[in-house]
Amino acid sequence: MNVKTWQANWDNNQITVENGWSWSGDSLEKITINDEVMLENIYNMTDVAASRAMGSVFTFPYGDDMIKVTLGSAWHLFGNACRIEVNGKYIGGNKIVLFARKAAQLEEK
């Protein structure tokens, strides 16, 4: 599987986002904060709507913070992109992400 990883830090916390795909259609979305897995989706792209395969937006609380991870296409359309925000403020990844749509609202862990 081809996996791209983005990392960002805020207030002594580290968030890691992994997004991967394979030629057989398998896909991975994984969000980890301080080594705790917050989200892990592994699926085959043939089992989901085309809009989901193009991109996703995940929002969830982490302590007193609201996290937003946007996964989609890079501005040049030839790669993955990820934007990481905490409390509405950009903290890492790509500034521009295309074709993302809201996929999940995660519950507080």
Q: What's the CATH code of the domain at 11? A: 2.40.128
Residue 26 belongs to a domain: yes
Burial code (b: 16+ CB inside 10 Å, e: under 16) for 21-54 equals: beeeeebbbbbbbeeeebbeeeeebeeeeeebbe
Question: Is residue 35 in a domain?
Answer: yes
- Please check whether residue 109 lies inside any domain of the structure: no
At 70 the pLDDT is 93
pLDDT at 69: 96
Q: State which residues form the domain around 98.
A: 2-104
Query: What pLDDT is recorded for position 49?
Result: 54
Q: What is the pLDDT along the chain (109 residues), one digit of tens a residue?
A: 889 999 999 999 999 999 988 888 888 899 999 999 999 988 887 776 554 556 789 999 999 999 999 998 776 777 789 999 999 999 999 998 887 765 444 444 4
Nearest to 26 by CA among 55, 58, 60, 1: 1
What's the pLDDT score for residue 104?
Answer: 45
For residue 34, is it within any domain?
A: yes
The verdict on residue 61 lying in a domain is yes
- Write down the pLDDT at residue 101: 67
State which H helix or E strand residue 56 sits in: strand 56-62
Decide if 58 contacts 48 (C-beta within 8 A).
Answer: no
Q: How many domains does the chain have?
A: 1
In the sheet that 2-10 helps form, which strands lie side by side, from edge to edge? Answer: 2-10, 13-21, 26-33, 36-44
